[in-house]
Structure 1
Amino acid sequence: MKYFFAIYMTAFLFTTTVFSQGKMITHKIEKGETINQIAQKYKVTPFDIYQLNPDAQRGLVPNGTLLIPNKSTAKILTQQPKESAQPQTHEVVAKETLYGIEKKYGVSDQELKKANPSIEKDGLQIGQILVIPSKNSSKTTTAIQEKVVYHDVLAKETKYSIAKQYGITIEELEKRNPEIVANLPIGYKLLIKGNAPKAVKAIEQVESKKEILKTNTLKTSAAIDYADYEVKPKETLYSLSKMFGLSQEELVALNPQLKDGVEIGMVLKVPSKALVTTNVKKEYASLSKKISEGNRKRMVLLLPFNVSKIEEDTVNSTTERLKKDKFLNMTLDFYSGALMAIDSAKVLGLPVDVEIYDSQETKNSSNVAAIVRDNKLELADAVVGPFYQSNAETTAQLLSATNVPVISPLSKDIGNPYANLFQTIPTVEVVRNTVFDYMRANKGNIIAVVDRKKESVIKYIQQYQKDVRFVAFKENGSVSAESLKSMLVKDRMNYVVMETGNTGMVKATIAAMVSSMAMYQVQLVILEPNETLDTDEINFSNLTKLKLMYPSVTRDNQSPEALVFKNKYRKLNNISSSDFATRGFDVTFDTLLRLSQDKSFEETANAIGTVQVDNKFEYYKKEDGGYTNKGVFVLYYDTDLIIKEAK
């Protein structure tokens, strides 16, 4: 009852100040209704409903009541600025953009930013109150043609990052530049704002790096804060420029002392945002040795058991469903590992209480909003789950006001950035970068044999690993052994990155490397699993001779501690632990340990990396929001046929 009383009081106070001349309509919420459906029914916007019912942003309660402005009320709201010089205000809701707000109120980008200077520095924030300039004060400026803004596409940029940079949506960006719907070429001149003719063609090279800096608002000197960075051993001008997202020329321009070379201990001036996302290795620690004796923490698991679907299934028995439903089996495996983690936490005396809820999720729906509302998850210290990326993002959004960490346990999608969302699965780019960083740290000579069909790999190396040289092919498309051998150097490890599924190309590359071992140090590297290497046509002994190396999110851990887990799991479940079971243990136990420290989950994520049974957790804050995991193993086959971690 207090909930509805608060809604009515808020609505009443708002009505007396803004809608005093109109009447309200009440709407009884039916089960399954959404804000968009209700808004369409009454021909108002979701924003209008949220203004009168702010608590509705947390989710709709069946049989609850909403206040709806009628058409005349809406007119009063839009006409008021003409009658008064007092500025109108707007509360930013999720997924709104500058462009959408400007269009809604008929103001220009310049006017809105002038009235709200914080937008330039911090961008839009959910819940932020914006001052909307009155139309009286904007009559002279709205007649002026909007300034045309272009943006030259740089390496590593995406449609999402560019759209976010200028406060527009991807759809708006593609509408202004229909040529980029299929792909986004480097150097393409995008029309961001204004009505200039769009006779813009893709260019092969950007005219000058100085011009890039002028068009890229993220890199203008007026908008950038700088921080100091101390050069570590084995770092080079190339690795530093890559680390901070700058060209070598830009880094030298900021730090003229680099003209004389890079020295250990040298203090560099770098963009502070770049410093947040660098690959500087975190301290790895065993958190079980630092248990806090403070207040108890609360952790929540949101797992998709989908019990209601099982109960409603009149065709299949539970046993039959378990045989067919792979998603259910994956969930139960993860759950079994999580239960072992909770049991281990009890043995260690970790001060954390755990709650488990059925998220009832599919790829496009879940019960998350109701769980958050009914169980006050905004007071939790961390939430693990849901499984699907879209549902994890919804959870993060619902809990963003209290900054509750939401740990996404299984999704590989990059998704939308939320400050409180932690992705535990490293991205493909992070996995690839890890092995290249390892090879450079060991001062290796890196060459690549890449099948012409592997366009994405070729593009990745050309854009992000520019010092890597490609082995030439013969006219018939086969590998040139002479070209490969001519690129090898003495007194350094020669890493040969091989990306092809062609058996002939694989055999030729391996043969050329094996025949070079008498004179050169060589090691074979792959970036992702290669089924061709598992066939009978490939001599496995040659792979061990070349110490085949590859990056991996997981490892096959045979340490005494790992064997204790595996043996205990087998004893409890009469089956060996699957990858999902081990991941359920690792993600849950890592979260429990981080919550048991005298710091918050976010503070431990910023400071400490951990290694559990088969997974690493090395969180880094992303520049556009949220956290990514850069915990990746570099593994290799040793001559004793055992897979080991490269150190």
Structure 2
Amino acid sequence: MNRFLLVLVFVLAFGFSSVSAQNFSTHQVKKGETIESIAKRYFVTPFDIYNLNPDARKVLKPNTVLIIPISKAKKPKITVVKELQGFKEHKTKRKETLYSLSKKYNVSEDDIKKYNKSLYANPLRKGDRLQIPRFKITEVVEEANQTQEYTVLPKEGKWRIAYKFGITVKELEVLNPEMTEVLKEGQVIKVPNLDAGEVKEVDDKYSYYKVLPKEGFYRLKLKLGLEQSQLEDLNPGLEASGLKEGMILKIPYSNLTNGIIQADFEHINLVDSISDFKTKHIAVMLPFRMDRVDFDSIIDVKRSLKRDPYLKASLDFYSGVLMALDSLKTLGVSLKVDVYDTKYEVSEVSRIIKENDFENVDAVIGPLTPTSFHKAASELRVYNTPVISPIGTNLKLYDNVFQSRPSDELLKSKIVNFVRADTLATNIIIISDTKTVAVANDIKREFNHAQQVFSRKSEKTGEDEFFVTKEDIENALKSGKNVVFLETKNEGFASNVTSVLASLIQKENKELEEEEIEIVLVTTNVNSAFEGDQINNTHLSNLKFHFATGSKTYNENDNNAFVNKYDKLYNITPSKRAVKGFDLTMDVVLRLVSSEDLYKSVTNAPLTEYVENKFAYKKKLFGGYFNDTVYLVKYDDLTIVEVNQ
């Protein structure tokens, strides 16, 4: 998150006009204290405290941590003077990064780039000769306040630190306006100045839950199955402070997804965690079917590509793999890579494994197709070789299987939980055709009060005609916010429904006595029906179309290094398959070189994220590993953006 967004979050959340890292402190409320007494102690007004802590207007409970603005009368004097004294030459060694060099020489990464301009365009390489600036720094002098410095530990994310010090993630961001979204090991941040005995520890045997807006103990009982007394026993201080939006609660280990944050808030940058530079051995299995390609001419090759979807899919994926291997090489990672053509034949997979030595292979990526993947995974179990599926779902999870694509059930639960958490939705409608009635009925069981609308059927044949009328939907709408589930795999039906819904959006008009009708479109299964030529993306944007997905679309304005390099090399923007090949290969190899093996990396790297994909593996009690994280995205002004929850 960039600095502007951090400031924006602060303004929206607390109604304050400007923030700097030095003009506030924290205070933990003691029994008997009032806002007036706290304000006098810090030479501020009660209004100043309420500005930053709106919940304090309602009730002030012991152990609550307040953000306190530092009085202008006590504003600390800060003098920071940085004067260039000269340079020190440095020859880059293997596994050194800009971050490690900035720490070693006590200069910023930007300062290193400033005096070594080639680093703006090129990555740091072994053997580079750098000019490291030496500065004369005047010490920063400031008055003591109620915060302390904290050094980020390995694998620590924002929520863990917020939990330790009894504040919310937003409050931690307020204390550290320039803090990046992903924390780095060794990074120093500000936290409340608590006694050592008051700092809590995160126990990985438990799950952790982030309290949503307007959630009380009764709602948590329904969602988590825990009584208020049980939550208070697990969270000392909760009885006195009460529930607070964004608060992190310890709960018994749970398989729930909504609000459970033991992985979701903990991004790990494995590039900074490389520790093993021994050569790793991986294998890639794809159904190229090269024996079917006609190499007589370029025209014949192009014809083969059009004729064989498995060849095209394999080449797309493999192009991303090659890009990843090149990037890993620049990081100093040593790899031996075997590439096999499975020919889309199970027997060929057996032959490949039989005739080659897989005992010392660290990981196998592929095959793509379910039957071939099942064969490879089952035969490689004897070596305990990890086999990673790029695209498969609902696989048989042997103990050596990694299913990188999130399950359909996880996608469904993500959007259902999103709707359930929306306290502003006044009306829920479920629209479906005859082929998705079962899905619609499942959603109806989740939302008993929801209304159902079905596609019309032919009076003569009784067959589904895949359309609804404006009146069908209009009768189900109410004033205020309406959330509409659309469940279909029929493009024509999706086009019909989205067009009708878009026409029914209505702004408030007091003169005509018309009430506002807001419509938010969602689906539990986004598919090609929502992406076809018949679909009007303007309608989807107007309907704020939300859906869960295993991979988000990269933003072309982000100037992504992979995308730029791919475009320059292949003269085309990378397809989703190519991006998946890059992301998955980067993740597998970086996990191998930052942990003892791929299995141990599940604990060491709870959540990783790359260009379009993120990976947070969980192990089945008796079986393998599945990716337990997805994106929630929406259409916003004709662009698909991630929804921050």
Please report the TM-score for the alignment, with normalisation by the length of structure 2: 0.53
Instruction: Give SS of 1:367's match.
Output: helix
Matches within 5 A, 1:373-392: 373-392=354-373
Q: Does 1:408 align with 2:396?
A: no
More helix by share: 1
1:385 Cα deviation after fit:
0.9
User: Residue by residue, what CA displacement relative to the aligned partner does 1:309-337 show, whole Å, maximum 9, x if unpaired?
Assistant: 55899xx9555423422211211121111
Matches within 5 A, 1:435-514: 435-443=415-423, 445=425, 447-453=428-434, 454-463=436-445, 465-466=446-447, 469-471=450-452, 478=469, 480=472, 484-486=476-478, 494-499=482-487, 501=493, 505-514=497-506
Matches within 5 A, 1:549-588: 549-558=546-555, 563-588=560-585
User: Residue by residue, what CA displacement relative to the aligned partner does 1:338-380 show, whole Å, maximum 9, x if unpaired?
Assistant: 1111111101112433222233333xx2433333343321222
Q: Report the counterpart of residue 614 of structure 1 in structure 2.
A: 612
Q: Report the counterpart of residue 306 of structure 1 in structure 2.
A: 289
Closer, same or farther: CA 318–637 of 1 in aligned 2, 3 Å: closer
Closer, same or farther: CA 274–428 of 1 in aligned 2, 3 Å: closer
User: Residue by residue, what CA displacement relative to the aligned partner does 1:41-64 show, whole Å, maximum 9, x if unpaired?
Assistant: xxxxxxxxxxxxxxxxxxxxxxxx
User: Residue by residue, what CA displacement relative to the aligned partner does 1:193-234 show, whole Å, maximum 9, x if unpaired?
Assistant: xxxxxxxxxxxxxxxxxxxxxxxxxxxxxxxxx964444322
Q: Report the counterpart of residue 428 of structure 1 in structure 2.
A: 408
Distance of 1:393 and 1:327 partners within structure 2: 18
> Structure 1 unaligned runs (5+)?
1-225
Distance of 1:344 and 1:266 partners within structure 2: 40
Distance of 2:476 and 2:396 partners within structure 1: 42
1:419 Cα deviation after fit:
1.2
Conserved? CA contact 2:546–2:632, under 8 Å: yes
Closer, same or farther: CA 592–481 of 1 in aligned 2, 3 Å: same
Closer, same or farther: CA 467–632 of 1 in aligned 2, 3 Å: farther
Q: Report the counterpart of residue 112 of structure 2 in structure 1.
A: none
Q: Report the counterpart of residue 341 of structure 1 in structure 2.
A: 324
User: Residue by residue, what CA displacement relative to the aligned partner does 1:558-600 show, whole Å, maximum 9, x if unpaired?
Assistant: 2566643223223322333222222221211221221121342
* One-letter amino acid of the structure 2 residue matched with residue 393 of structure 1: H
Distance of 1:581 and 1:242 partners within structure 2: 43
Matches within 5 A, 1:30-45: none
Conserved? CA contact 1:426–1:553, under 8 Å: yes
Instruction: Give SS of 2:210's match.
Output: coil
Q: Which among 211, 230, 233 is matched to residue 211 of structure 2?
A: 233
* One-letter amino acid of the structure 2 residue matched with residue 574 of structure 1: N
1:627 Cα deviation after fit:
1.9
Conserved? CA contact 2:403–2:625, under 8 Å: yes
User: Residue by residue, what CA displacement relative to the aligned partner does 1:463-507 show, whole Å, maximum 9, x if unpaired?
Assistant: 5x3466225689997555565444x66xxx653323352665444
Distance of 1:395 and 1:289 partners within structure 2: 32
Closer, same or farther: CA 584–474 of 1 in aligned 2, 3 Å: closer
* One-letter amino acid of the structure 2 residue matched with residue 631 of structure 1: T
Q: Report the counterpart of residue 13 of structure 1 in structure 2.
A: none
Closer, same or farther: CA 303–502 of 1 in aligned 2, 3 Å: closer
Q: Report the counterpart of residue 397 of structure 1 in structure 2.
A: 378
1:386 Cα deviation after fit:
1.0
Q: Report the counterpart of residue 596 of structure 1 in structure 2.
A: 593
Conserved? CA contact 2:405–2:550, under 8 Å: yes
Distance of 1:605 and 1:242 partners within structure 2: 31
Distance of 2:607 and 2:528 partners within structure 1: 29
Q: Which moved more, 1:468-477 or 1:424-433?
A: 468-477
Q: Does 1:633 align with 2:625?
A: no
* One-letter amino acid of the structure 2 residue matched with residue 303 of structure 1: L
User: Residue by residue, what CA displacement relative to the aligned partner does 1:486-531 show, whole Å, maximum 9, x if unpaired?
Assistant: 4x66xxx653323352665444433344357964665222332474
1:240 Cα deviation after fit:
7.2
Q: Report the counterpart of residue 359 of structure 1 in structure 2.
A: 342
> Structure 2 unaligned runs (5+)?
1-203, 458-467, 510-514
Q: Percent identity?
A: 28
Conserved? CA contact 1:293–1:351, under 8 Å: no
User: Residue by residue, what CA displacement relative to the aligned partner does 1:50-95 show, whole Å, maximum 9, x if unpaired?
Assistant: xxxxxxxxxxxxxxxxxxxxxxxxxxxxxxxxxxxxxxxxxxxxxx
Conserved? CA contact 2:209–2:250, under 8 Å: yes
Instruction: Give SS of 2:439's match.
Output: helix
Matches within 5 A, 1:1-80: none
Distance of 2:538 and 2:295 partners within structure 1: 54
* One-letter amino acid of the structure 2 residue matched with residue 621 of structure 1: K
Distance of 1:563 and 1:335 partners within structure 2: 19
* One-letter amino acid of the structure 2 residue matched with residue 433 of structure 1: S
1:304 Cα deviation after fit:
2.3
Distance of 2:635 and 2:548 partners within structure 1: 12
Provide the aligned length of Structure 1 versus Structure 2: 403
1:284 Cα deviation after fit:
1.4
RMSD: 4.2
Q: Does 1:418 align with 2:398?
A: yes
Conserved? CA contact 1:243–1:278, under 8 Å: no
Conserved? CA contact 2:388–2:401, under 8 Å: yes
Closer, same or farther: CA 568–230 of 1 in aligned 2, 3 Å: closer
Instruction: Give SS of 1:510's match.
Output: helix
Distance of 1:615 and 1:301 partners within structure 2: 19
* One-letter amino acid of the structure 2 residue matched with residue 349 of structure 1: G
* One-letter amino acid of the structure 2 residue matched with residue 285 of structure 1: I
Distance of 2:387 and 2:321 partners within structure 1: 16
Instruction: Give SS of 1:554's match.
Output: coil
Distance of 2:302 and 2:539 partners within structure 1: 46
Distance of 2:205 and 2:563 partners within structure 1: 46
Instruction: Give SS of 1:596's match.
Output: helix
Instruction: Give SS of 1:330's match.
Output: helix
Instruction: Give SS of 1:572's match.
Output: helix
Please report the TM-score for the alignment, with normalisation by the length of structure 1: 0.53
Conserved? CA contact 1:274–1:623, under 8 Å: no
Q: Which among 269, 272, 275 is matched to residue 286 of structure 1?
A: 269
Q: Which among 290, 296, 303 is matched to residue 279 of structure 2?
A: 296
